[in-house]
Structure 1
């Protein structure tokens, strides 16, 4: 198959990298791509909106399109591709609402008895402020729209909640979800979905705040460990009460879900509960999970798009993977761009995924907030962490921000 990948970040670099190991792939094209992706496959520039992307897929003669980012999914790129008869790995615009509209997503969970935090949604500031003031602390304030993982504030005071709410409602047409604060370990469970069934990938754990010890503002994700150990009973509970319930509920409502179903979960004393759903590979979870995939990604994605996924297709190496994000100074605010980058040659078990890079006069430079996703695989998580931090030590990136405690919540260290 000739496969077109949509997107240009670290997630898409990981997807492209996995496709290069895919026996059923004859050619890979990416739009818009990035310098790291361009070193592996051909990249094409085109407007990143549904009709232009569908036109490109048709012109390229793509047999399959894999959509990486949430933006094109929410805009309806899969619908545009399907109208042209092009198989697409990703949810329709209606199904992508599971991620794109947090208030709708919460109501969907309520309709289908999917465990999640207690919540209320608001479309006006006064009512939101009044509700927040009456709640016990801490509480969680979420922008109801797409914010690249950064629209969440954990509020320790009512004043902090008020500031978060006012900031969200400064945007036209804004909405918020206010939730109870859940206590427990957070874990990401991604699953391949074909509209009927969802097949789990290895669980992982992202580290979302900018600073070590889970301090500072939320980011799109600063590092991942995979697998996060879950017992068979918990995995089955997640499958039955969450993943299967989503697939059944979406089909029942006439919007079957195809693509990657990402369940961000909190392992509470009362069992796994949903923090949020995403409608695509997580970033940076993809950079940790996909290097362990031994199955054929193109064949899996095509089976999902055609509603014929077989669980036997989904195979992963029995190994560990760790990812550390190198972010630009200023992130998660306005990042510094144009910082010269010097990359070492990674070992066979290491990868450097480009997330926010560009070429200026032949020099690789930073061009975003999260700039590089460094990954290493090994037989154990401590060994993988040791390898990925050794790789980080050899990257030339002035002022780079990165957390040195990935895996620390579980007592994991690179030297353990």
Structure 2
């Protein structure tokens, strides 16, 4: 099977490796890809989505997989263009991807379909946002658009809120857009992933990510400094409630509003004292949760995604390991405010059986160097959480580069009483 994955980060590296390990032979391609991805998938050098669609047609690509979210809403939308060209695409249409691309769209969708979530008010200016906050903290502020995982601020006090509003409305760090002023929810977070095919779905292994740069969940928000995944992450009764109150009504809502959906759908949830509530949707696999989940997925992922893109949910092609997986992210100097490139990475050949997914690296001769904020994800598994935690952190200990940032509580924090 000839598969092309769109994206260039650690998530796409993990997806391609999973496709490469599928039982049926695969020819893998990537756009735009990276030096590390190029070791298992041939990079496609074209300019823009339209040229990519043309290339896929000429080269008989049988399946296009959307890894990175931005391509789903660029131009006419990756999935829309694939459909016009007759190429099966595992990823939703542009109009459906508004669930991620617009926080306001997602909030109103949830309200229409009775999906539990925090209350929110949309603000189009600095003055409107301040009025909506009304001096009441803590509060959650969300930029209404794609922001590479950095458009959300949990503001415990006024200074934090004013700093984020300055970024949005004065500096315009994320471009033009509104802000959602949202109710502050409390409780542990969990990430639920479903493969959605029209009105059917399959829930994958739950995960939990760690967004703050520092240990004990301190410091600035990031795209994710690590993740832990297991079928045993949350009680079965809690997962059943999430399915009944969140996943099923979301899928039904998409169908009722004629929003085509074939692809991964991410539910970011807060397990509040009143029950699970949706924080956000992502219209693709999470990053770095994907890197933690993929090693637990067994079977024919390539065949599963092709079937789904063609309208058939082939649950029989997959099984899920009942163990645990822990992903430790290694970030570059300056992250998340910026990043430093060119630092030589050592120790990759000493990590043993753990997996390494490249997110921000480049080749320089025989060396790997840093080339982005989140540089590497080191992933290891175990029959229980402690075994997976120990294996992942021992493996991460082997890797070095100047200015490296890492959290040593990945897989440990939030589990002291469970």
Fold shared by both chains (TM-score > 0.5): yes
In 1, Cα distance between the equivalents of 2:302 and 2:222? 30
Give the match for residue 15 of structure 2. Answer: 15
Contact 1:189 1:200 in 2 (8 A): yes
C-alpha deviations, 1:220-271, integer Å up to 9, x for none?
Answer: 0001111152222211111121111111111111112210010000011111
Tell me, in whole angstroms, the C-alpha distance in 2 between the residues paired with 1:344 and 1:359.
13
Equivalent position of 1:363 in the other structure: 367
Q: How does 1:55-70 map to 2 (within 5 A)?
A: 55-70=54-69
Instruction: Give the TM-score normalised by the residue count of structure 2.
Output: 0.95
Q: Is the 8 A contact 1:194 1:303 kept in 2?
A: no
Correspondence for 1:166 = 166
Aligned length: 412
Q: Is the 8 A contact 2:352 2:395 kept in 1?
A: no
Matched residues in 2 for 1:347 and 1:152: separation?
34
Question: Are 1:193 and 2:196 matched, yes or no?
Answer: yes
Aligned to 1:207: 210
Structure 1-normalised TM-score?
A: 0.95
Distance in 1 (alpha carbons) for counterparts of 2:350 and 2:15: 18
Aligned residue runs from structure 1 range 48-127, under 5 A: 49-75=48-74, 76-127=77-128
Q: How does 1:328-347 map to 2 (within 5 A)?
A: 328-345=332-349
CA separation of 1:348 and 1:312: change in aligned 2, threshold 3 A: farther
Unaligned runs of 5+ in 1: none
Q: Is the 8 A contact 2:262 2:309 kept in 1?
A: yes
Partner of 1:325: 329
In structure 2, relative to structure 1, the CA distance for the partners of 1:404 and 1:263 (3 Å cut) is same
Distance 1:231 1:44, change over 3 A: same
Matched residues in 2 for 1:59 and 1:378: separation? Answer: 44
Query: 2:318 and 2:245 mapped to 1: Cα distance?
Result: 21
CA distance in 1, matches of 2:343, 2:19: 30
- Map of 1:394 onto structure 2: 398
> Which deviates the most, 159-168 or 117-126?
159-168
Q: What RMSD over aligned residues (CA atoms) do the two structures have, in Å?
A: 1.7
How far 1:134 sits from its partner (Å)?
4.3
Which consecutive residues of structure 2, in runs of 5 or more, have no partner in the other structure? none
CA contact 1:226–1:381 (8 Å) conserved in 2: no
**1:177 corresponds to which residue?**
180
Alignment of 1:196-235 (within 5 A): 196-227=199-230, 229-235=233-239
Distance 1:342 1:59 in 2: 40
Aligned 8 A contact 1:217 1:332 in 2: yes
Divergent runs of 4+, >4 A: none
Deviation string, structure 1 residues 143-171 (Cα, Å, up to 9, x no partner): 11111111111111223212212221132
Cα deviations by residue, 1:371-414 (Å, 9 ceiling, x for unpaired) = 0011001111111111111111111211100100012333469x
Name the CA distance, whole Å, in 2 between partners of 1:123 and 1:173.
10
Corresponding residue of 1:38? 38
Question: Does structure 2 conserve the Cα–Cα contact (< 8 Å) formed by 1:321 and 1:375?
Answer: yes
Residue of 305, 310, 316 corresponding to 1:312: 316
Aligned twin of 1:297: 301
Contact 1:8 1:32 (8 Å CA) reproduced: yes
* Preserved contact between residue 349 and residue 378 of structure 1 (Cα < 8 Å): no
